[in-house]
Amino acid sequence: KAGVTQTPRYLIKTRGQQVTLSCSPISGHRSVSWYQQTPGQGLQFLFEYFSETQRNKGNFPGRFSGRQFSNSRSEMNVSTLELGDSALYLCASALESVNYGYTFGSGTRLTVV
């Protein structure tokens, strides 16, 4: 079966711009989570959506937002980009919750210049 698909794979943006990243979960998975991965901070939880509702949120500023559609596809948006937002953004999906074990996508590499 198809895995978690993230688009685009690579993105270069300029400071102050905004960006939208997309994630298509495994068919049947209703939980979609987003993580930021950087060399300094490691893997940090951004937010989780379940059945179109944000169920959990990490400690990130309001510039980071997301949403989930009725087909479970999810997008995350970062507004007013800063250099420190350069990271690998990973999407993960699960049947119901984290205890089932997440399946991660390959990520979107965002570079802010």
Among 36, 68, 102, 112, binds another protein (CB under 8 A): 102
Q: How far is the CB of 56 from another protein (least distance, A)?
A: 5
Binding of another protein at residue 56 (CB under 8 A)? yes
Binding of another protein at residue 25 (CB under 8 A)? no
Q: How far is the CB of 107 from another protein (least distance, A)?
A: 5
Stretch that binds another protein, among 14-22, 55-63, 66-74, 79-87 (CB under 8 A): 55-63
Range list of β-strands (E), 1-113? 5-7, 10-13, 19-24, 31-38, 42-50, 53-57, 64-68, 74-78, 87-94, 103-104, 108-112
Q: How far is the CB of 63 from another protein (least distance, A)?
A: 19
**Running DSSP on this structure, what letter comes out for residue 91?**
E
For residue 25, cis peptide bond before it (omega within 30 degrees of 0): no
Interactions with another protein, residue window 60-89 (CB under 8 A): none
Beta bridge partners of 49: 32, 54
Distance CA 5, CA 108 (A): 10
Binding of another protein at residue 5 (CB under 8 A)? no
